[in-house]
A and B are shown apart, each in its own frame.
Chain A
Amino acid sequence: MSERTKKILCGLGAALAFGCGSTPTPVELLDARKAYDKAAKSPAAQLAPAQLDTAKQALAKAEASFEDEGDEPITKDLSYIAIRRAEIAEAEAGREQAERARQKTDKDFRQTELAAAEGHKQTKAQLEAERKARLAAEKQAAAAMASLNEIAKVKEESRGMVITLSGAVLFASGKSTLLPIAQDKIAEVAKALKDQGFKSILVEGHTDAQGSVEKNQILSLQRAEAVRSYLIREGIPSDKIRADGIGSSRPVADNSTAEGRANNRRVEIVVEPFK
C-alpha cells in the first residue's frame, strides 16, 4: 500500500488497519540524505560530478521507494546503496585532487631539475671562460716579456723586474730630452708593461762618475722624469709610476773605462709585479 493511498484513505476517515500517521523516515534514509548533502558540498561537485550525479539518482530512488513503499526493507536497501554512492563520489574527488597535486609537483620537479641543470651548465661555462681568460692573460704576459727582452736588458732582481735602457740610446750627451729612437723604444716598453700588468713602476736615472755629484744628481733625476713622462704619455697610469735620480752613487760597471762609464749611464725601470 503506497503512502499516497494511505493518506487518501486517511482523509476519507475510513477505519484502516494501517494507522493514519505518516511513517517516520527510516534512519537509513536520513543517513542517505546526510551523506549526499556532505558529498554535494565537498570537492566532489567540481572534481567528480558524474559520480555525484549517480549518488543523486541513487538517493532519488531511495526517496521514491520511501514514498511508494514506506519503511520497507527495499527503502533501507536503496538508502544503503545511496550512502555508498555518495561516499564513492567523495573518494573519487579525493583521488582526483591527489592526482592533480601529483601532476603539479611532477611539473615543479622537472622545472627545478631543469633550472639546476642550467645553473650547472652556467657554472661550468663560467669556469671554462675564466680558465680561458687566465690562459690568454698568461700568454699575453709571456709575449710581453719576450718582446721586452728584445727591446732592452731585462733582469729579475729582489726589488722587481729591472729593465735597463742604455743612456746613449735614450739621450744625447748631457741632455735630458729623449731622442726620437728612444721614444719608440719607451713606447714599446710601455706596451709590454701594460700587457704584462704590474703593481708599480720606479724609474731610476743613473750617471757615470764624471762631473760633479750635484750635477749628476740633477741630470739623473731629469732623465728619469723624462722617461716617466713618456711612459705616462704611452698609457701608464701616473699614480703608479715615480721617478728617482740616483746620480752616480750606484754604478754597475767600472767607471775607469769608457765602456764601464757607458754602462753606468743608464735608466733603470724597476717593475714591481702584482704577486
Chain B
Amino acid sequence: MKRLLLALPVFAVVLGACGGAAVPQETLTAAKASVSGAEVAGAAAEPKAALHLKLAKEQIAKAEALIADGDNEEAAIEIDRAQADADLSMSLAKEAKAKREAAETIEQLERLKRNTQ
C-alpha cells in the first residue's frame, strides 16, 4: 500500500485521480496463489475457513473488475483485503487440522492404555 502511495505523483493525490498507479499484477498473483494454498489446506471443509476463502475469492473478482476499469489504486486495496482473508482462511484450515490430529492422537493413547491394562 505504502509503495503505491509513494509512487503516486502529488497532483494525482490532490486531484483524487487514480489512473496513475500501475496494475498490481504481482500482488494479485500472490493473492490468487494464497487462495489455492488455502484450498489445498482444506479450507473448503472448515466452516470459518470456507467463509474467508469465499471473501478472498470475491475480493479478487472485484479487484479484477477494478483493474479492467482502470481503477488500479482501488484494485490494490481489494487485493490486500483478499490476501488477508486468504491468509486467515489458510491459518484456520491448518488450525482445524492440527486440532483434529491432536484429538486423534489422544484417542489412540487412550485406546493403547485400555488395551495394556
Residues of A participating in the B interface, judged by any CB pair closer than 8 Å: 61, 73-74, 77-78, 80-81, 84-85, 87-88, 91-92, 94-95, 98-99, 101-102, 105-106, 108-109, 112-113, 115-116, 119
Contacts and interface: CB of A to CB of B under 8 A. Distances in A.
Interface string B1-32: 10000000000000000000000000000000
Interface residues of B, number: 24
Given A77-B77, A87-B91, A112-B116, 12 more contacts: A84-B87, A88-B88, A88-B91, A91-B88, A94-B99, A95-B99, A102-B101, A105-B102, A105-B105, A105-B106, A109-B112, A116-B116
A88 B87 contact: yes
A246 B99 CA distance: 87
B85 interface: yes
Contacts of B84: 80-81, 84-85, 88
B54 interface: no
B40 interface: no
A99 B112 CA distance: 20
Contacts, number: 74
Interface of B: 1, 52, 77, 80-81, 84-85, 87-88, 91-92, 94-95, 98-99, 101-102, 105-106, 108-109, 112-113, 116
A113 B109 CA distance: 9
Contacts of A77: 77, 80-81
Contact of B102 (A61, A80, A102, A112): A102
Nearest to B78: A77
Question: Looking at chain A's contact residues, is the secondary structure mostly helix, strand, loop, or mixed?
Answer: helix
B106 A98 contact: no
Contacts of B91: 87-88, 91-92, 95
B112 A113 contact: yes
Given A80-B81, A81-B84, A108 B98 contact: no
Nearest to B93: A91
Contacts of B109: 105, 108-109, 112
A84 B85 CA distance: 7
A113 B94 CA distance: 29
Contacts of A113: 112
A81 B101 contact: no
Contacts of A80: 81, 84
A98 B80 contact: no
Contacts of B106: 101, 105
Given A88-B88, A91-B91, A98-B99, A106 B80 contact: no
Nearest 5 A/B pairs, CB to CB: A84-B84, A98-B98, A91-B91, A116-B116, A95-B95
A166 to B, nearest CB: 63
A70 B99 CA distance: 41
A167 B65 CA distance: 126
A230 B95 CA distance: 85
- Identify the interface centre among B1, B92, B98, B99: most chain A CB within 10 Å of its CB: B98
A119 B60 CA distance: 60
A74 B77 contact: yes
